[in-house]
Each structure stands twice: as structure tokens, then as C-alpha cells.
């Protein structure tokens, strides 16, 4: 399908402007147009195919991790409880973005309502922030398991794990409420074209016809605080873990710990690196093209890679997959 003409875009924009006695440049916006990426019909079809593949792999990978950890009793430990929640968060926040993005690639209107945009942003902000906190909690869990193994069963009991996970969601919800309320109370009257494939703070701030200095300060401040605090938890935890590993006399023990912790550090580096580039530096708001590429990475690529990272480098997960496959084969043979 060819991209809409200039006349069509103007018609869509006029339809989304609410009736107002004020001049056109000050009329308030009741909806937005997600510009997405440039290019003709072939480019849009290619983007749709890429997003579809990434999203399907993300859904299958994270659902597999959730089902596997739920069904295999040997994976009923704090580490895999947190990993299951990480897979759930990855599944949810990629689902907040990908379906709508694929729709605009094939649609001529590319419209999203004001309420729909606010809702998408709220849940995306909640889930991404939750993932940041959850990765820090997972680092703390590894610290307790390796550095204080005798206290670990008491410190990381099931109730404590549930409270930690609930805390990550509460932190994500609080940040999302602040960011959403500050962003969507702004008057958007100069344009309704969001230069992105989903509703996010940087492109929305560019549409506001009011001073956004406070919004930018709050975004950089909160995101910077979250990234710095959670990164410190991860670095301190892994600092102690590294010292403990180096003191181990068993080579096999070292290898197992390095394998488990290496998977987590890979996931942490990918997530925090991309989020920092997008939100925790002043140039983020001004660089929309860079933002789109980075956004693809942390909205689809990272959620797709996390199950692969934790399964390919984790012997327990690979063994659980093997046992699940054998169980499925036995059930299939029994039916025959």
C-alpha cells in the first residue's frame, strides 16, 4: 500500500484537530499521526515483515520460558521466579508496541487517538521501568546465592521474592504515573505528527506548544536516578560475586557461576545501555532518527534475545527443555 499523499495527510490532521474558536495554530489536538519510518510501499512492507518476525520470536521465546519454569519443579527457585517475571514483562511491553507499529506500516491513516497514545505510553513506561528494577533484583538474588549461601534460603524465601517483584511493579507504576501526567497535560497544538512508530516522551515533547524544560528535567532526572541506582546495585553485587568466584577452588563451580552470571550481565548491559542512550542524556530529545533505531532494539530485539541468552548459556534451562520434550514425546506415544 502506497504512503498517503500530502492532501490525505492534511485531511487526517484537520480531522484530528478539535473544534475551537481559536486560530488553527492554537487548536488543541484530539489525536495523533504516527509517522513511523519513511519510504515507499516496499519499505513499509519490509518493516512490517521484520517487526512481525521479531515479535513472533519474542512471543514464542518468552512464553516458552514462562511455561517451562512453571511446569518444571527443578526450576522452582528464586532465580527462575525472577526470570519468569522478566519474560512476562518482556512479553507485555513488546506487545504494547509491536502490534500498533505493524498496523501503521500497512495503514494509510496511521492514526492513534489521544487516549490511545496516553494508554500506550503509560503501559510502556510502567513495563520498561519495571524491567530495570527487576534486573537489579536479579543481581541482588545472585549476590545472596553466591556470597551468602547459608542465609540465602531465609533471605530469599518465597514471600520475600513476591514482595521484591511487587516492589518493581510499584516503582514502575509510580514513574509511569509521573511521566504520563506531566507529558499529556501539555498543550499539543502546533502539529499532531509524532515522528516515531509509537508514543514516547522525546517526540511528544517536540509537539508541545509550551515550555517543556520541566518535563525534560524530570525525564532526565528520574531516568538518570533509576539507571544510576539500579546500575550501582548490579555493579556492587557483581563486584562481590567476582571476588567470591576468584576464591573458589573448584573449576567446575567457577564455570557454572560464570555461566549463570554472564547471562544476566549480558541482559543488563544490553538493556541499560540502550535505555541510557534514549532517555538519560540531553541529546536524546533532539535525535529522533537515532531514537527510532535504538527503540527497535529495546522494544523488540532485547525482549527477543533475553530468552535465548538465558537458555543457551544456562544448563538448567537446557535440561528442562530436554525433559519437557521427552515428556511430550511420551505423551504422544501413549496416545498412539
Provide the CB-side half-sphere exposure for 146 (13 A, CA).
Answer: 26
What DSSP string runs through 87-137?
HHHHHHHHHHHHHHHHHHHH-SS-EEEHHHHHHHHHHHHHHHHHHHHHHHH
- Triad 186, 190, 195: Cα angle to 5°: 85
In a domain, 262, yes or no: yes
In a domain, 329, yes or no: no
Model confidence at 316, in pLDDT bands (50, 70, 90)?
confident
Count of domains for the chain: 1
In a domain, 18, yes or no: no
For residue 42, the domain's CATH number is 1.20.1070.10
Model confidence at 122, in pLDDT bands (50, 70, 90)?
very high
In a domain, 245, yes or no: yes
- What CA–CA distance (Å, rounded) separates 332 from 68? 18
Q: Buried (b) or exposed (e) across 14-51, using 16+ Cβ within 10 A?
A: eebeeeeeeeeeebebebbbbbbbeeeeeebeebbeeb
Average of per-residue pLDDT across 166-184? 95
Highest mean pLDDT among 2-11, 145-154, 277-286: 145-154
Model confidence at 310, in pLDDT bands (50, 70, 90)?
confident
Q: In angstroms, what CA-CA distances link 139 with 28, 75, 304?
A: 46, 18, 20
In a domain, 113, yes or no: yes
In a domain, 67, yes or no: yes
In a domain, 25, yes or no: no
Q: Looking at residue 65, what is its pLDDT?
A: 92
User: In which order are the strands placed within the sheet that holds 111-113?
Assistant: 111-113, 31-34, 193-194
In a domain, 73, yes or no: yes
Average of per-residue pLDDT across 263-291? 70
The model's pLDDT over 250-259, given as tens digits with 9 standing for 90+, comes to 666 666 666 6
Q: Looking at residue 157, what is its pLDDT?
A: 94
Average of per-residue pLDDT across 52-80? 92
Q: 244: domain range?
A: 30-323
Its pTM stands at 0.83
Q: 229 and 168 in contact (C-beta within 8 Å)?
A: no
Closest to 283 measured CA to CA, from 202, 208, 210, 226: 202
Amino acid at each position: 500500500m502506497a504512503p498517503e499523499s500530502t492532501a490525505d495527510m492534511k485531511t487526517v490532521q484537520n480531522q484530528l484537530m478539535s473544534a475551537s474558536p481559536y486560530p488553527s495554530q492554537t487548536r488543541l489536538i484530539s489525536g495523533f499521526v504516527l509517522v513511523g519510518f519513511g519510504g515507499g510501499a516496499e519499505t513499509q512492507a519490509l518493516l512490517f515483515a521484520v517487526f512481525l518476525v521479531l515479535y513472533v520470536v519474542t512471543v514464542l521465546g518468552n512464553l516458552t520460558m514462562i511455561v517451562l519454569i512453571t511446569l518444571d519443579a527443578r526450576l522452582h527457585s528464586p532465580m527462575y521466579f525472577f526470570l519468569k517475571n522478566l519474560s512476562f514483562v518482556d512479553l507485555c511491553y513488546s506487545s504494547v508496541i509491536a502490534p500498533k507499529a505493524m498496523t501503521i506500516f500497512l495503514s494509510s491513516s496511521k492514526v492513534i487517538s489521544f487516549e490511545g497514545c496516553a494508554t500506550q505510553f503509560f503501559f510502556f513506561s510502567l513495563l520498561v521501568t519495571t524491567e530495570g528494577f527487576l534486573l537489579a533484583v536479579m543481581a541482588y538474588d545472585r549476590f545472596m546465592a553466591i556470597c551468602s549461601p547459608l542465609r540465602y534460603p531465609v533471605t530469599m524465601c518465597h514471600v520475600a521474592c513476591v514482595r521484591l517483584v511487587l516492589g518493581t511493579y510499584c516503582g514502575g507504576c509510580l514513574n509511569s504515573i509521573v511521566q504520563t501526567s506531566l507529558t499529556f497535560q501539555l498543550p499539543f497544538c502546533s502539529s499532531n505528527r509524532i515522528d516515531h512508530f509509537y508514543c514516547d516522551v522525546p517526540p511528544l515533547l517536540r509537539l508541545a506548544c509550551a515550555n517543556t524544560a520541566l518535563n525534560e528535567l524530570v525525564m532526565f532526572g528520574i531516568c538518570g536516578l533509576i539507571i544510576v541506582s539500579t546500575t550501582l546495585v548490579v555493579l556492587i553485587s557483581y563486584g562481590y560475586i567476582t571476588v567470591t568466584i576468584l576464591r573458589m577452588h573448584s573449576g567446575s563451580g567457577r564455570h557454572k557461576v560464570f555461566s549463570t552470571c554472564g547471562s544476566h550481565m549480558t541482559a543488563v548491559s544490553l538493556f541499560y545501555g540502550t535505555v541510557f542512550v534514549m532517555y538519560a542524556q540531553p541529546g536524546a530529545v533532539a535525535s529522533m532518527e537515532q531514537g527510532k533505531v535504538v527503540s527497535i532494539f529495546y522494544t523488540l530485539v532485547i525482549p527477543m534475545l533475553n530468552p535465548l541468552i538465558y537458555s543457551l548459556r544456562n544448563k538448567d534451562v537446557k535440561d528442562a527443555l530436554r525433559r519437557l520434550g521427552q515428556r511430550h514425546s511420551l505423551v504422544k506415544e501413549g496416545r498412539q
